[in-house]
Structure 1
């Protein structure tokens, strides 16, 4: 069993409300939380309008599978979130 913790940090310039923040984040929780190998939550900057941090725990039978899922999450997040991804860190446990 291989486990990775992927933390994504976003900047949301011009975002003025928590409602707008949820809309601009594009439903990351719904998109990735449905996958049986991924757990996702908003982990930081909860009360800030112009920033958001999300953490995904990815589990798989091989390190390659986990790395592939992490890359997929990063790529889709960059394309779908109405903001800038500032950082993406991976920690393998």
Structure 2
């Protein structure tokens, strides 16, 4: 069994409040937390309006499986979240 950690840092240009930030970033738990192999958490920049950091912990039988899940997460986020991905960090434990 392998564990991978994907951390994404977002920029939210023009975001004026934490409420707007929640609306723009909302649903990440629901979209990805349904998968029993994925844990999702807002891991940083919680009090800033214009940025956010989210971490996804993925468990899989192989690094290849985890890399595939990472790619699916990134692709879906780019399509559905109203924010720019500024930084992507991938690591394995």
Using the size of structure 2 for normalisation, the TM-score is 0.96
**Superposition deviation, residue 67 in structure 1:** 0.6
**Superposition deviation, residue 30 in structure 1:** 1.0
Segments ≥4 residues shifted beyond 4 Å: none
DSSP-derived class of the 1:6 partner:
strand
Are 2:59 and 1:59 equivalent residues in the alignment? yes
Contact 1:26 1:80 in 2 (8 A): no
Specify the alignment match of 1:80 in structure 2. Answer: 80
Cα RMSD (Å) of the superposition?
0.8
Using the size of structure 1 for normalisation, the TM-score is 0.96
Contiguous gaps of at least 5 residues in structure 1? none
Distance in 2 (CA, whole Å) between partners of 1:12 and 1:71 is: 21
Specify the alignment match of 1:42 in structure 2. Answer: 42
Contiguous gaps of at least 5 residues in structure 2? none
Specify the alignment match of 1:13 in structure 2. Answer: 13
**Superposition deviation, residue 21 in structure 1:** 0.4
How many residues in Structure 1 have an aligned counterpart in Structure 2? 93
**Superposition deviation, residue 79 in structure 1:** 1.2
**Superposition deviation, residue 48 in structure 1:** 0.3
DSSP-derived class of the 1:31 partner:
helix
